Amino acid sequence: MYKTLLTSLDHGIFTATINRPDKLNALNREVMQDLNELISEIETNPEIKAVIITGAGKKAFVAGADISEFLGLTSSEGIHLAKTGQNLFFKFENCQKPIVAAVNGYALGAGCELAMACHFRIASDNAKFGQPEVNLGLIPGYGGTQRLVQLVGKGRAMELLMTGNSIDASIALEYGLVNHVVPLDDLLLKAKMILDIIISKAPLAISRCIAAANAVFESGNGYNIELKSFAECFDTEDMKEGANAFLEKRKAKFKGK
């Protein structure tokens, strides 16, 4: 069914594992398509009561969007890319069934954005979070500029967005980006223990908790500004330099052009 996801269902808890460990589970077009299908399956399969999203291997949850797919994109293709990502992550955020991110390593760029679109996050003690897009002459385009501010506050979000620095699990816990930090071997167990409690409650009440809590942040304009700004980056020399530098494993030289 899925090309890039492993799935299993155990007593109503559905675990979806993004499975490109050789590329640190980076989100390429195929993974994005599979995640779209995953959301449809979650919404329509009555056997699924709650969901855990995690990454394959011991190193990464998701190390970002696949940078190799950025090269050669125009700004209008950038708009399309960001719209696809934003729309997919809105589906996660607004899913009527609880979705927990079990972050088992790097959650960078689109990986951090995916984790933030889930209803809450549990991290292993080796997890690292960040929005390193500025290293590529880019900004987050899948809702990261908005949800990071919502979750950690404006000052911390501004610093993380502008430095591109990543934070480890203990700082993420202090910032409120994650709810719990546990050893890697206990990560899925911890997620399941919490979801077992949630799925013992009334499902319609759970869906309404999700909708009401999400409504605190309704406005939408910031997402449009993010979309436009992300796309404009694709017309810059700096973005091409940033993506090439990553793929050539060297430091980027930015010119402000």
Catalytic annotation on 69? no
Q: Which among 2, 14, 71 is positioned nearest to 42, based on CA atoms?
A: 14
Q: Is 67 in the site for ligand COA (CB under 6 A)?
A: yes
User: Residues 94-113 vs ligand COA: string with x where CB under 6 A?
Assistant: ------------x-xx----
Catalytic residue among 133, 218, 226, 237: 133
Catalytic annotation on 241? no
Tell me how far apart the alpha carbons of residues 71 and 253 are, in angstroms, rounded to a whole number: 16
Which H helix or E strand runs over 70?
none
Partners of 236 in the beta sheet?
none
Choose between 42 and 226: whose C-beta lies nearer to ligand COA.
226
Which H helix or E strand runs over 245?
helix 237-247
**Other Cβ atoms closer than 10 A to 172:** 26
Stretch that binds ligand COA, among 21-29, 37-45, 193-201, 221-229 (CB under 6 A): 21-29
Stretch that binds ligand COA, among 4-12, 128-136, 206-214, 224-232 (CB under 6 A): 128-136
Q: Is 68 in the site for ligand COA (CB under 6 A)?
A: yes
Tell me how far apart the alpha carbons of residues 125 and 190 are, in angstroms, rounded to a whole number: 13
Name the token pair of 57.
């291997």
Q: Is 132 in the site for ligand COA (CB under 6 A)?
A: yes
Q: Which of 34, 133, 226, 238 binds ligand COA (CB under 6 A)?
A: 133
Name the token pair of 187.
């990560």
Stretch that binds ligand COA, among 39-47, 61-69, 96-104, 224-232 (CB under 6 A): 61-69
Which residues participate in catalysis according to the annotation? 113, 133
